[in-house]
Structure 1
């Protein structure tokens, strides 16, 4: 479940950014992995790899074809979304997720059984192979992350110049994060910093799996540009958990982030051409 950025009521339980965790330096080939690469076909999901797929919706005509990759309950969920864009984002996102999972697990997409946790995070329940995945979408941009070993959380947000970022930050950010935000003199710089902080926090909560039940103000993120940057949170028993943040540039006036529980996974950013959403893609997973 995605948090509504315009409606916040979070409790304050501050967990500071770990002072003993040094920010990891970027490897020499980081920029190559940060580029979005065109994919003519679905790639095998390698161990130690996080595939991050990007979809840009430009044509409402894609929706009818996507319905062929949805089970009846998912088609009903799509139809209940009255606005065309949210309906299309859900349908295309879920259809493409099924295709990617089918490819990784070597199963027909419609045979995959997805079940949501009590906090709303879905998982595959009818495969002996473990796979972690997460989906986020905003105004026509869809991101899907998959990994065999690492826990994955992704978030994308389009910048909205009409919201009061300081009002939202008062309840969603820690005191230090709010102070850093207010210190920025340029409104554009402040707005981008807000969305960077927001997406980093959302990616962490989605990787952790507690989603909306984990207050954004209960832990601190760097807010500065991140690449495998460590962030400390606590689970309900008080046990420390570290996640590792990397910023993503989704393009089109959007900001994104991905979080995993491993500092060593290789992030591969891939464009998924929606024109190839056809039956021959499904057969690759058989």
Structure 2
């Protein structure tokens, strides 16, 4: 991939423009995002990195794929994960170790020597759809990310729509049939997936127990959380990192001012200049979401 996309949703700093408040303090930004296509890492390089970076469990998973395409996607995604977390923690890619929660949510395992560099143990979320990979990290709090392609097919889109709340289904039905309506479905779906991943509850969290209100031209304008959560502790971001690709980020943060995200595209061999996106405060909708026109 080349330069970061120009159509990302959210407030972004243009070239030469001031960054959001807090971006020039020298402190690590609250959120970092990496968007990487499988083609950004040649297959031969992915195989070589796997031999050096991946652990026994990861190599075992990779060996069980029947199709070479699926194996390559897995190798690229996990090379991306290890490379980005190495940049975040200062640990070599091959020395990173992971643990899982009882519900299967992955997290970094602290090294034997104690805390990571700077005392930070970043939370992370990795997702992929076809040849697209998205990774998010945050030094404090929790993060979930999701990415989907509009080319996933009519059947797949209609299937996920059935798990939406009544308000969300009404908003989808009000859209123009065809691709515009499918776009509404995937905007909601990626946000729901991102939130569920950040919570780490998996299928134990019914997707109709929480609801989003979206502006037609992009942006979350309201969030009704499940009964056991509060809307005010969450920030959401949606953007389109490539044509016909929809992505969403959910971050649990009490930060003031609003946190911001750095978006990098391509495999992270270096810290190329990122695009800066603001995660705005979402209107609380504990009494039920408004339906955007």
TM-score in terms of structure 1 length: 0.74
Measured at CA, do residues 31 and 182 of structure 1 come closer, stay the same or move farther in structure 2, by a change above 3 Å? Answer: farther
Q: Which has the higher contact order (CA 8 A, sep 6+)?
A: 1
Q: 1:179-218 to 2 correspondence within 5 Å?
A: 179-218=170-209
1:142 to 127, 133, 143: 133
What is residue 263 of structure 2 aligned with on the other side?
269
Measured at CA, do residues 114 and 214 of structure 1 come closer, stay the same or move farther in structure 2, by a change above 3 Å? Answer: same
Measured at CA, do residues 239 and 145 of structure 1 come closer, stay the same or move farther in structure 2, by a change above 3 Å? Answer: closer
Unmatched 5+ residue regions in structure 1? 1-25, 34-44, 278-286
What is residue 230 of structure 2 aligned with on the other side?
240
2:37 to 53, 56, 63: 56
**Secondary structure at the residue paired with 2:91?**
coil
**Secondary structure at the residue paired with 2:212?**
coil
Deviation of 1:227 (Å): 4.7
Contact kept in structure 1, 2:213 and 2:220, CA below 8 Å: no
Q: Tell me how far apart the structure 1 counterparts of residues 229 and 194 of structure 2 sit (CA, whole Å).
A: 20
Measured at CA, do residues 52 and 101 of structure 1 come closer, stay the same or move farther in structure 2, by a change above 3 Å? Answer: same
Q: Tell me how far apart the structure 2 counterparts of residues 126 and 86 of structure 1 sit (CA, whole Å).
A: 30
Deviation of 1:228 (Å): 6.9
What is residue 65 of structure 1 aligned with on the other side?
48
Indicate the RMSD between aligned Cα atoms, in angstroms: 2.6
Contact kept in structure 1, 2:37 and 2:133, CA below 8 Å: yes
Q: 1:4-83 to 2 correspondence within 5 Å?
A: 30=12, 32=14, 46-58=27-39, 59-67=42-50, 68-83=52-67
Q: 1:99-114 to 2 correspondence within 5 Å?
A: 99-114=83-98
Unmatched 5+ residue regions in structure 2? 1-9, 16-25, 271-293
Aligned residue pair count: 236
Contact kept in structure 2, 1:49 and 1:147, CA below 8 Å: yes
Moved over 6 A (4+): none
Deviation of 1:178 (Å): 0.5
**Secondary structure at the residue paired with 1:135?**
strand
TM-score in terms of structure 2 length: 0.72
Deviation of 1:104 (Å): 1.4
What are the Cα deviations for residues 17-50 of structure 1, in whole angstroms up to 9, with x where unaligned?
xxxxxxxxx65xx3549xxxxxxxxxxx943421
Q: Tell me how far apart the structure 2 counterparts of residues 131 and 234 of structure 1 sit (CA, whole Å).
A: 25
Contact kept in structure 1, 2:209 and 2:226, CA below 8 Å: no
